[in-house]
């Protein structure tokens, strides 16, 4: 009997994890990727003597990556760099906040610099951890869309704790009630940006994201974030996955309401099931008949996007560490401008990631590689050439004033990433990074499931579907999609 054949659309992290899992289980797996490289947004670019991680720069939840290798029966060899600090914060009034690599030091620093009660900060972090520990096994590691997967003691424990999640409050109102200093509130509100949402509208339950950065501390792969892609890609290849790069999928082929293959730029392929790691909205809009689209789910507000500058800087700044946040004067105005006005705010929060602080090969001696990002709206027809030029001027002025030296004079190489480019290169709808935003208390329940309710044998993985954005959640989406696929195929053949 021949092996069941599985087609996977997209070689992002979730697509790679799916392919390795299914190949390990004995399926014949083919991955189709429109680009010439794997990893989706997690890729690298070389600009002269400088190297940059092009997409995500923060790695948390390493256990979810390790779980893929454990499932496949392979050793998890993933060298990490020992960083000295977590995040460094710069406020407009000159206050600097340097967070360490354990929650006790973080609580102490916030207490000393921002005047908070240290015990209160520690309680907040313990609550974030507790909420995460109780909710992750149910709402992150399980599906919300098939009742039988929710039944059990973990469901009861999660339901008992519902009042702790403050579903009626936003992240901001909960943080404002917990802390006395608006700067502390801003630090914890920032975690809304980890799934492209508005902290003044996103549910307070998302405050548990702080656990992954402040209790567990983000990791730095020794080879940069591309190490995540390389590890999963090599695992998949070793399991026999067949990759088809520069081969764009044009249509998902159906026999009535059952998926049975793919049409690509090079031909047609028959498959027993298909997993889409493509943005779920574009999967329906570009690859299927619109009658199949679940409009109630897909018509939700999109997450934010980003404008990123990659700058090779011919000097080093001791004021900077690996992760640096430069806050503007009005956090609420920044997100109101992004979501309500669909524009880039004049005084945005600036994130500067400098991997050469720890990875010496990322920049020449005496130089640094700057990944400089701001939150932005998705592409809605804005004049991006004008937006980028004005944003670049504002960023350079802000950073020059903060660091006491003209930054523009130090830039040796430069490249920019914009929302239209995110749409074009990664097929993120309108440049959205995470699919739908989580700007309502019901947002978690409106994410698309890891399977199609209208088309048999079609499954979904990636940041635009359940459970959401970020590498840990993308890896969970891959596991869920594979479990649904296997259960459905087994039930048909048994």
Residues in the chain: 494
pLDDT over threshold 70, residue 159: no
| Per-residue pLDDT at 160 | 58
pLDDT of 143 over the 90 cut: no
Q: What is the pLDDT of residue 228?
A: 98
Could you tell me what percentage of the chain is helix, strand and coil, using 3-state DSSP and rounding each to the nearest 5? 45, 20, 35
What pLDDT is stored for residue 446 in this prediction? 77
Structure token digits, residue 209: 């994201």
Mean pLDDT computed over 277-304: 93
State the average pLDDT over residues 398-425: 98
Give the pLDDT score at 297: 83
Nearest-angstrom CA–CA distance, 199 and 332: 8
Question: Looking at the predicted structure, is the pLDDT value of residue 248 above 50?
Answer: yes
* Three-state secondary structure call for residue 8: strand
pLDDT score of 319 more than 90: yes
Higher pLDDT, 446 or 284: 284
pLDDT of residue 146: 64
Average of per-residue pLDDT values in the chain: 93
* Chain position carrying tokens 């005496």: 366
Q: What is the pLDDT of residue 98?
A: 96
Distances in Å between the Cα of 171 and the Cα atoms of 78, 411, 487 are 34, 37, 37
pLDDT > 90: what percent of the chain? 85
Concatenate the DSSP letters of all residues of 112-142 into one string.
HHH---HHHHHHHHHHHHHHHHHHIIIIISS
pLDDT at 38 over 60: yes
Q: Please give the radius of gyration of the chain, using alpha carbons only, rounded to the nearest integer.
A: 22
Of 46-60, 247-261, 443-457, which range is least confident?
443-457
Average pLDDT over residues 36-46: 97
Nearest to 372 by CA among 337, 410, 323: 323
- Tell me the pLDDT band of 166, cut-offs 50, 70 and 90: low
Residue 129 pLDDT grade (very low, low, confident, very high; cuts 50, 70, 90): very high
Main-chain phi, psi angles of 406, to 5 degrees: -70, 115
% of the chain with per-residue pLDDT over 70? 94
Identify which has the larger pLDDT, 167 or 316: 316
pLDDT of 136? 81
The yes-or-no verdict on residue 3 having pLDDT over 80 is yes
**Does the structure show a pLDDT above 80 at 454?**
yes
pLDDT at 224 over 70: yes
- Tell me: pLDDT of 368 over 50: yes
Cα–Cα distance measured from residue 235 to residue 186, given in angstroms and rounded to the nearest whole number: 40
Domain(s) of CATH 3.50.50.60: residues in the chain: 5-42+224-300+436-493
What is d(CA 278, CA 459) in angstroms, rounded to the nearest whole number?
A: 11
Residue 467: cis peptide before it, omega within 30 degrees of 0: yes
Provide DSSP, 383-439: -HHHHHHHHHHHHHHHHHHHHTS-SGGGEEEEEEE-HHHHHHHH--GGG-SSSB---
438-442 long-range contacts, CB within 8 A, separation 24+: 438/192, 438/195, 438/197, 438/202, 438/203, 438/206, 438/303, 438/468, 439/197, 439/198, 439/201, 439/202, 439/301, 439/339, 440/201, 440/203, 441/167, 441/168, 441/203
Structure tokens at 45: 């670019």
DSSP 369: E
Whole-number pLDDT of residue 494:
41
Query: Residue 155 pLDDT > 60, yes or no?
Result: no
Which has the higher per-residue pLDDT, 443 or 197? 197
CA distance 174 to 166: 8
Helices (H), 276-327: 280-287, 295-298
**Within 10 A of 426 (CB to CB), how many other CB atoms are there?**
22
Domain covering 5-42+224-300+436-493 in this structure, CATH number: 3.50.50.60
Query: What gap in Å lies between CA 389 and CA 411, rounded to an integer?
Result: 15
pLDDT of residue 225: 98
Tokens representing residue 34 in the block: 């429109």
The C-alpha atoms of residue 179 and residue 156 are separated, in whole angstroms, by 31
pLDDT value at position 37? 98
Short-list 406, 337, 401, CA closest to 90: 401
Residue 59 has pLDDT above 70, yes or no: yes
State both tokens at 143.
């599906």
H-assigned helices in 60-194: 62-71, 103-114, 118-135, 153-160, 162-165, 171-178, 182-189
Using an 8 Å Cβ cutoff, are 281 and 16 in contact? no
């Amino acid at each position: 009997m021949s092996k069941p054949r599985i087609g996977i659309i997209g070689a992002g992290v979730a697509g790679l994890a799916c392919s390795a899992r299914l190949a390990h289980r004995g399926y014949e797996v083919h991955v189709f990727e429109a680009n010439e490289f794997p990893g989706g947004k997690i890729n690298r670019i070389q600009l002269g003597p400088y190297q940059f991680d092009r997409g995500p720069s923060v790695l948390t939840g390493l256990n979810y990556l390790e779980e893929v290798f454990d499932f496949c029966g392979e050793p998890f060899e993933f060298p990490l760099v020992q960083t000295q600090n977590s995040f460094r914060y710069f406020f407009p009034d000159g206050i600097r906040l340097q967070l360490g690599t354990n929650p006790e030091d973080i609580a102490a620093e916030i207490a000393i610099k921002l005047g908070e009660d240290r015990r209160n900060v520690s309680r907040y972090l313990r609550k974030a951890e507790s909420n995460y520990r109780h909710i992750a096994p149910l709402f992150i590691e399980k599906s919300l869309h098939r009742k039988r997967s929710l039944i059990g003691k973990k469901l009861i424990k999660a339901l008992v704790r519902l009042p702790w999640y403050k579903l009626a409050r936003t992240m901001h109102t909960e943080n404002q009630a917990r802390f006395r200093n608006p700067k502390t509130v801003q630090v914890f509100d920032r975690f809304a940006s980890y799934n492209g949402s508005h902290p003044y509208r996103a549910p307070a339950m998302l405050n548990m994201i702080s656990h992954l950065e402040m209790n567990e501390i983000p990791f730095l792969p020794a080879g940069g974030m591309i190490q995540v892609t390389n590890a999963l890609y090599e695992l998949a290849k070793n399991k026999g996955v067949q990759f088809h790069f520069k081969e764009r999928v044009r249509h998902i082929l159906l026999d009535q309401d059952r998926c049975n293959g793919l049409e690509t730029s090079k031909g047609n392929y028959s498959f027993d099931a298909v997993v889409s790691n493509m943005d779920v909205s574009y999967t329906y809009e570009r690859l299927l008949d619109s009658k199949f689209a679940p409009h109630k789910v897909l018509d939700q507000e999109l997450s934010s996007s980003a404008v990123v500058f990659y700058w090779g800087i011919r000097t080093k700044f001791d004021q900077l560490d690996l992760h640096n946040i430069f806050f503007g004067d009005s956090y609420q105005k920044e997100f109101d401008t992004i979501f309500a006005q669909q524009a880039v705010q004049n005084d945005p929060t600036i994130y500067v990631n400098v991997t050469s602080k720890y990875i010496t090969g990322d920049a020449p001696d005496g130089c640094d590689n700057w990944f400089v990002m701001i939150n932005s709206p998705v592409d809605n027809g804005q004049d991006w050439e004008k937006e980028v030029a004005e944003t670049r001027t504002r960023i350079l002025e802000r950073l020059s004033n903060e660091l006491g030296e003209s930054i523009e004079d130090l830039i040796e190489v430069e490249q920019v990433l914009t929302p239209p480019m995110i749409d074009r290169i990664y097929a993120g709808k309108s440049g959205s990074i995470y699919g739908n935003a989580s700007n309502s208390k019901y947002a978690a329940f409106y994410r698309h499931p890891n399977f199609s309710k209208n088309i048999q044998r079609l499954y979904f993985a990636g940041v635009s579907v359940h459970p959401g954005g970020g590498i840990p959640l993308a890896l969970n989406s891959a596991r869920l999609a594979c479990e649904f696929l296997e259960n459905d195929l087994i039930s048909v053949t048994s």
